[in-house]
Structure 1
Amino acid sequence: MTLRVSRVASALAVTLLVGGLATACNRGDSVSGSAAAGKPAIGIDMPRADSDFWNSYAQYVKTDITADGLNTLPVSNSENDITKLVANVQVFENTGAKAVVIAPQDTGAIVSTLNQLAAKNIPVVSVDTRPDAGKVYMVVRADNRAYGTKACQYLGKALNGKGSVAVLEGDLTSINGRDRSEAFASCMQQQFPGVTVYPLATNWDPAVGSSKLQTLLAQHPNLSGVYMEASIYLQPTLSLLQSKGLLKPLGTPGHIAIISNDGVPQEYDAIRKGEIDATISQPADLYAKYALFYAEAAVEGKTFKPGPTDHGSTIIQLPNGLEDQLPAPLVTKANVDDKSLWGNNISG
């Protein structure tokens, strides 16, 4: 799989070389010094390093660890591999982690590991993904069904309720992929029945998405819109449309309406150019901030209850724990330059 290397990814690569974060079973540096002295150790696993969103999240985590003076074990990266994640968590257990922060991309296969951690009284904060079962202290996540619904409503209105839309779906074994896809399809069926939806399963692989979209365009050259469930599809999709003469600016005849999901700087640039219409800003900065906040709270024995928070979100009850649902705004040309959006503030 080939992905475009962004400025964010390049900046993070420099960080990796100087000893910040590590990939797979390689380990990064832990936080040391007086600020972290005596604090319980926290284990942190990055889920992948092949997307601008997750590289931005990693950058925020590194900054917040230092700012908060946390005691963290060497940070690992499971590279979208559940086997590596399980192995990395085992290292955290063996090296004294009192809490663990993970973002399991396969939300079913992580259950046995969560049960193992619960048996050892090691609380878990899950970022962005909600495990299907197994005890979690807190899930830090936005409402992914709302992502699908917002995308549906935007495209449905942009197309005046007519036409056809391709959906570059994520991994349907992941609750995020399922939530976005199911909510999008349900919304279209109920609110815009005149729009035909072509779901393209990609397993979060942009090369697969591009190939399937190319095949679909050959069969349906009058495609009206595209919903990309993650920003990893941005460049392959734009390149494909450009090669076919279908990348027409917003507001011109023949424009294919496109909405994405993540809120990375590259999406904002595409919105400014009129190449895509909108994206949904998944809060990488808040994911990092509150993942670490809850991990520290967990080792201190603090508890939380469902209801509104003091940071503009809502905690909901899950069968296996709690979830803090953080806000994720729709970004269009009207608000793309808003400085409160993390994608306008990330360095690199």
Structure 2
Amino acid sequence: MTQRRAPGTRGPGGRMVTAGEVFASRSTTGAGSTMRTTRHRLATAAAVLVLVCGPAAAGCSEESGGGRRVGVVVPFLTSPFWEAYERDIPRQAAKAGVRVLPTVNSNNDASRQVSDIRNLLAQNIDGLVVSPIDSAAIVTGLRAAQRRRVPVVAVDVAPDRGKVAIVVRADNRAYGEKACRSLGRAVRRGKVVQIEGDLASVNGRDRTAAFDQCMRRRYPHIRVLDIAAGWQADKAAAGLEALYSANPDIKGIYLQAGGVYLAPTLRTLQRHRALRPRGRRGHIAIVSNDGIPQELDAIRKGWIDATVSQPTDLYARYAMVYIKQALFF
């Protein structure tokens, strides 16, 4: 059964196959403060929102968000995960009464993302929702927003530093831990491949660290082979091709981003005639991360064993709810 926690509370995150959980944490100026959740402040922000945008407030409507404009920046759109998030933004914005500009795609380029933020600020936006590509590089864009007093909501990835109103993200360490346990139970001993995300992103670092620590602690007879793919399908394909050619006895694979890595992984295994359904001799156990329809279809067909899902709908929903609160807080 899917469980979803209320915004502003932290849960264990990353449920297998069904749904992950998302939590929001208020951030000030650094990663150390990013993980603090302040329920009282969130409640206060909601109360202020009611007072400022209540029925008696002139020039403020639920449909328009008071006429204030919000820019939304996504990291890339080469993944069904981010495609789903982008599609959901207009619907959730309408529900929250937020006026959003057309979504900006940074094409997985951290420098371009900072330029995208500056371009939006030049359009005199009132609020910004951004999913950082690089947790360190995004700081330049956050400082530019702070100088203009534009509130920022960070989604999915927390910045290393910089001022944001709130961070909406899932527990990525739980993702790595759950993937480790699922793959470890299936393999027990031998070689497994971990196709990593971008280690410049706190999400990539958290998933890798948790997966590695869990493997060392719980499954000492499993050897982990890493592929640094940086959320890029071509790097995942090239890395897996090289690793499999040198290690045809691979028994398992962990995909840190199924939306990007699933298709190239299945193609590579198929090319080597190593793609066998679950239950068949020689099946390579695969645990993925995202919970997109393509992964669920692959589970039904027996090509992969499990996915740890991320709630794109909740990301979009809470992003709009919290940016509206930030605009009037």
Interval containing the TM-score (normalised by the shorter chain) = 0.7 to 0.9
Alpha-carbon distance in structure 2 between the residues aligned to 1:73 and 1:252: 50
Residue segments in structure 2 that go unaligned for 5+ positions in a row: 1-60
TM alignment of 1:239-318, pairs within 5 A? 239-301=267-329
Residue 28 of structure 1 corresponds to none
Partner letter of residue 136 of structure 2? G
Residue 241 of structure 2 corresponds to 214
Residue 98 of structure 1 corresponds to 126
Alpha-carbon distance in structure 2 between the residues aligned to 1:283 and 1:125: 17
Is the 2:135–2:201 contact (alpha carbons within 8 Å) kept by the matching residues of 1? yes
Is the 1:73–1:92 contact (alpha carbons within 8 Å) kept by the matching residues of 2? no
Residues 131 and 37 of structure 1: CA distance in aligned 2, closer, same or farther (over 3 Å): closer
Residues 236 and 74 of structure 1: CA distance in aligned 2, closer, same or farther (over 3 Å): closer
Structure with more relative contact order (C-alpha pairs < 8 Å, separation 6 or more): 2
Q: 2:69 aligns with which of 21, 41, 59?
A: 41
1:205 aligns with 2:232: yes
Q: TM-score w.r.t. structure 2 length?
A: 0.78
Alpha-carbon distance in structure 2 between the residues aligned to 1:210 and 1:77: 23
Partner letter of residue 155 of structure 1? L
TM alignment of 1:12-161, pairs within 5 A? 35-36=63-64, 38-159=66-187, 161=188
Partner letter of residue 208 of structure 1? K
Deviation at 1:73, TM superposition (A): 2.9
Residue 189 of structure 1 corresponds to 216
Deviation at 1:257, TM superposition (A): 0.4
Is the 1:101–1:124 contact (alpha carbons within 8 Å) kept by the matching residues of 2? yes
Partner letter of residue 211 of structure 1? A
Deviation at 1:37, TM superposition (A): 6.6
1:168 aligns with 2:195: yes
Partner letter of residue 305 of structure 2? D
Partner letter of residue 163 of structure 1? G
Partner letter of residue 77 of structure 2? A
Q: Which has the larger helix fraction?
A: 2
Residue 22 of structure 1 corresponds to none
Deviations 1:53-104 (A, max 9, x none): 0000001112212333321233322111223222221232222222210001
Deviation at 1:164, TM superposition (A): 1.0
Q: TM-score w.r.t. structure 1 length?
A: 0.74
Deviation at 1:34, TM superposition (A): 8.6
Deviations 1:319-342 (A, max 9, x none): xxxxxxxxxxxxxxxxxxxxxxxx
Deviation at 1:293, TM superposition (A): 0.7
Alpha-carbon distance in structure 1 between the residues aligned to 2:191 and 2:77: 33
Deviations 1:119-143 (A, max 9, x none): 3322111111010111111111101
Is the 2:65–2:324 contact (alpha carbons within 8 Å) kept by the matching residues of 1? no
Partner letter of residue 101 of structure 1? V
Stretch of structure 1 that moved more, 71-80 or 268-277: 71-80
Residue segments in structure 1 that go unaligned for 5+ positions in a row: 1-32, 302-348
Residue 332 of structure 1 corresponds to none
Identical columns (%) = 44
Q: Pairwise CA RMSD of aligned residues?
A: 1.5
Alpha-carbon distance in structure 2 between the residues aligned to 1:131 and 1:253: 44
Runs of 4+ in 1 over 4 A off after TM superposition: none
Alpha-carbon distance in structure 2 between the residues aligned to 1:292 and 1:226: 35
Is the 1:99–1:123 contact (alpha carbons within 8 Å) kept by the matching residues of 2? yes
